[in-house]
Chains A and B, each alone.
Chain A
Amino acid sequence: MIRHICKIIWNERKANGWILVEFIVVFCILWFCCDYLSYIVRSNSEPVGFDIDHTYQIQMSRKIQNEAPEGKKMDNYALMQTFVNRVKQYPGVESVAFSNAAAPYLGSLSRSSMLSLPDSIWVGARTRQVSSEFFEVFKIKPERGRIFNWEDKAETRNVIVSGNRNGCFDYFDEKGKTVELSKVKSFYYEDEKTEYPIIGVVNPTKEDPYSYYEPCIYSSLDHNEVNLESEIVIRVSPHADKDFAARFTKEMRGQLNLGPYFLTSVTSLQERKKEVLKNNGITGNLNSIYAITSFLVINIFLGLIGTFWYRVQSRRSEIGTRISMGASKKNVKRMLFGETLILLFIASFVAVNICLNIAQTDFLEAIGLPESRRDYIGAGIEQDFINYFVTYLFLAVVSLFAVWYPARQAVSVPPAEALREE
């Protein structure tokens, strides 16, 4: 059967050539679309480490005009406590956290290199300054040890850490080398003499769903570092989370006029996340991929339906002969479907070779197309197989749909009539 189909394909090589070329081009493009989409799907399926459902950012600003008189310092800590008390009294608010360059999707971050002890290795990590409620607000789970509280800071400089995908720190200057979290006891900053002992380990986190797990060091916010212009995030109980931002702003604006500070906005972090994904191009990339995939699919569909329609018409007598010689309608249909699938298989074979070679080069980067980050999701060679099967299957389904209509037309002609045409 297959040999027979191959012969037919060879005899019709002129028309098949066009389909073959189109299959190859489309297969290549869909391969890379699939590669990128699986990166998106796979990284999305892994937890970010932050639970941002029902969380909000409260933004406060300072009135510039009424500057405090020189010499008289504001007691920021007292202001902060008043703030926390008032916000917590608002129905539905579960916890309030302060932080610097820490909360996800707020756009500020800091990274730093540190000397880790006892092995004296320079490690690089994301550093976050947080109040202890930060872990409650984002439901970050402790894996070992404990979480610090406000009183800790006075005498010690306890820190909490989280690792990368494999629970390790990355070397600062040597790419690829790592050291396990459990082998690090404390840190030194480059230009400081103080030691920062590790008191706990929490779950790993990513900047956003499509980023990588980055080792992180949480240090606690100092009393005199905190002010109402830091990042302020709150968690709200699910049943109170209806129209919360507008309600809170309206009812609390008066109460939150504290000293020189006033409330500017309340934004849900889900909202912020959307903005971030838009700005770093993920949303745009996905839209482009959906657009180009639908475009290619429709094209393949139109191309196949047209070509096979012509072919079936010009081969009516052949099909008539087949049916009158005892081939069932099913057989004829199967033959046409078989032709398509074998054509696709030949094309896929060529296309895979092209794709694997392109992936080796930095062609995609050079023309600015979205690249899948296999290192971010820890994917290996199995991804190539996934890409192949998904693309092949997808194209096969589309092609069979396209050939179905011409095939039905072919077998619906009475054999005698088809033969008479000769």
Chain B
Amino acid sequence: MLRIYYKQAIEMLKQNKFISAIAVIGTALAIMMIMAIIVSDNIKTISLGAEPNRYRTYYVTRAVERDTVKRSWSAGGIGYDHYKNYLTDLQAPEYTTVTSWSSVSVSREGHSETLNLGVRTTGADYWKIYSFRFIEGKPWGVGEVQSGVKQVILSESTAREVFKGEKALGQEVLLNSVPYHVVAIVEDVSKIYDMANSDLWIPYSSIADYKQWGVGSIVYTLKNNEDLPALDREIREAEKRYDAQHENKVLTFRGPAKHADYRLSEQASDNEDAIEIIRVARRKSLFIFLILLLVPAINLSGLSLSRMRKRTEEIGVRKAFGAKRHVILIQVLFENLITSLLGGVIGLLLSYGVIYRMKHWLLGVPEDSFIPFNALISWPVLLSVVVVCILLNLLSAGIPAYRASRMNIVNSLTQNDKL
């Protein structure tokens, strides 16, 4: 049965090439826009490559301290005191680490050349949460971080740039004029991994004033996501403990926020505000999806109706020979689904082109950064393209199909009843 529908649909497409082309282009365009959003969203949240634990990783990014007497407040990254005395040694997380990113000038003793590169400070568990391919050497452990040794890990391309083909491992490099010992080289990390990527990595404790500067963000990785309420409870308890030990102070830690949300919640003034910001962002994407689906659906509905109008007699004949309403309904929907799927495939391919050309805007990474192939094509993406196709199909052919199935036999044969 479906084969006949399929053949008929293909014939229909061929018969009126102009209109078919318009329907396919319209569908492809809608699916391109929707998939560009879904795929880039997926790239930002998928657990893959250097960040395989995104799904169970949570961040505490800021501390806001209010003074109840002076009525002033100050906000900033997590301080060393917060980290050491309140936020480390929690029960819920499997791993806890800190990380921050800044730029640094890199040079070598006896060489005049200086490079401005990105450096990431890390704790010991950082290397367990994120996954790097070590070409040479190995990362620091708890002992090295405690003693604050000046060690540095270079990315492959940094090593090449700084040492120009010389062997980098075991050499010394100056970071803001302070000598560091190169202990490992790792493969370059794509910029889409925003917490893993960097040019250089150093232990957070190797910076001279780290106790005053603060440690950046705290990263917790849970054993499984069921522990999240426990983590939240522990963080809230830590705040209470802090308030009890500091007179007239009320401290709020921003988080725990999941990977998809931590950037959004950074702009918020408190945790309730963060929830509201995330809610607004969800509403916004819902609204945009609605527009991207509805406008083409209205468009295609008009087209399908005109097309069905030409087939009134055919439907009348089929009904006169005993075709049931739902059979007509399914046939029209199925025929239309062929167009939708065709548009869907074209749209998905186009969306990759769009993401590739506009990664700066859609992914927030520099134009020259590479995107790993398996981040683009994944099961959630393929599944969502099918779902979007079916959705668009129902929206655009639903009303015409319903009307066609409800037509009166006699009227449609005499062409008195128009759709």
A interface, CB within 8 angstroms of B: 14-15, 18-19, 21-22, 25-26, 29, 61, 63-65, 249, 253-254, 262, 264-265, 283-284, 287, 291-292, 295-296, 298-300, 302-303, 305-307, 309-311, 314, 366-369
Contacts and interface: CB of A to CB of B under 8 A. Distances in A.
A63 B207 CA distance: 11
A301 to B, nearest CB: 9
Contact of A368 (B18, B114, B281): B281
Contacts, number: 114
A64 B281 CA distance: 42
Contact of A302 (B26, B176, B358, B418): B26
B19 A299 contact: no
Contact of B302 (A22, A63, A65, A369): A22
Contacts of A19: 302
Nearest to B403: A14
A263 to B, nearest CB: 8
A368 B283 contact: yes
Contacts of B294: 25
A64 B295 contact: no
Contacts of B295: 22, 25-26, 295-296, 299
Contacts of B255: none
A310 B301 CA distance: 13
Nearest to A365: B280
A142 to B, nearest CB: 36
Given A366-B283, A367-B283, A367-B287, A15 B292 contact: no
A368 B284 contact: yes
Contact of A303 (B286, B303, B361): B303
A303 B281 contact: no
A298 B116 contact: no
A287 B361 contact: yes
17 contacts: A15-B306, A18-B302, A19-B302, A22-B295, A25-B291, A26-B295, A253-B112, A254-B112, A262-B176, A295-B30, A295-B33, A299-B296, A306-B22, A306-B23, A309-B18, A367-B286, A367-B287
Contacts of B281: 368
B209 interface: yes
A310 B361 contact: no
A240 to B, nearest CB: 22
Contact of A15 (B25, B287, B288, B305): B305
A61 B287 contact: no
Interface in B151-205: 176-178
Contact of A64 (B116, B178, B302): B178
A284 B291 CA distance: 18
Nearest to B113: A250
B303 A307 contact: yes
Most A CB atoms within 10 A — which of B29, B177, B302, B309? B302
Contacts of B284: 367-369
Given A61-B176, A292-B291, A299 B302 contact: no
A311 B307 CA distance: 11
Contacts of A18: 298-299, 301-302, 305
B19 A310 contact: yes
Interface in B283-333: 283-284, 286-288, 291-292, 294-296, 298-299, 301-303, 305-307, 309-310
Contacts of B29: 295, 298-299
B280 A303 contact: no
A299 B299 contact: yes
A302 B22 contact: yes
Given A18-B299, A262-B105, 10 more contacts: A29-B291, A64-B176, A64-B178, A64-B208, A262-B177, A264-B103, A295-B295, A306-B303, A306-B306, A310-B19
Interface residues of B, number: 46
A25 B291 CA distance: 9
A303 B298 contact: yes
A142 B177 CA distance: 43
A412 B30 CA distance: 33
B231 to A, nearest CB: 28
B206 to A, nearest CB: 11
Given A22-B299, A287-B361, A298-B29, A14 B22 contact: no
B284 to A, nearest CB: 4
A306 B299 CA distance: 9
Contacts of A307: 302-303, 306
A26 B296 CA distance: 11
Most A CB atoms within 10 A — which of B112, B305, B358? B305
B149 interface: no
A14 B305 contact: yes
A254 B22 CA distance: 65
B244 to A, nearest CB: 31
B361 A283 contact: yes
A25 B280 contact: no
A65 B418 CA distance: 86
Contacts of A14: 305, 418-419
A111 B283 CA distance: 33
A64 to B, nearest CB: 4
A310 B116 contact: no
Given A63-B177, A287-B361, A366-B283, A306 B291 contact: no
A282 to B, nearest CB: 12
B292 to A, nearest CB: 7
Interface string B61-87: 000000000000000000000000000
Can you list the 3 inter-chain pairs with the closest CB atoms, starting with the nearest?
A18-B302, A310-B306, A303-B299
Contact of B298 (A22, A61, A311): A22
B202 to A, nearest CB: 13
B192 to A, nearest CB: 17
Contacts of A21: 298
Contacts of B283: 366-368
A366 B177 contact: no
Interface in B388-419: 418-419
Interface in B115-170: 116
Contacts of B103: 264-265
A74 to B, nearest CB: 17
A367 B298 CA distance: 23
A50 B309 CA distance: 63
A148 B419 CA distance: 80
Nearest to A262: B177
A19 B294 CA distance: 13
B176 A284 contact: no
A305 B22 contact: yes
Contacts of B305: 14-15, 18
Nearest to A295: B33
A25 B296 CA distance: 11
Contacts of B419: 14
Contact of A65 (B19, B208, B291, B296): B208
Nearest to A254: B112
Contacts of A309: 18-19
Given A18-B305, A61-B176, A64-B209, A302 B105 contact: no
Given A265-B116, A295-B33, A299-B299, A284 B280 contact: no
A189 B416 CA distance: 85
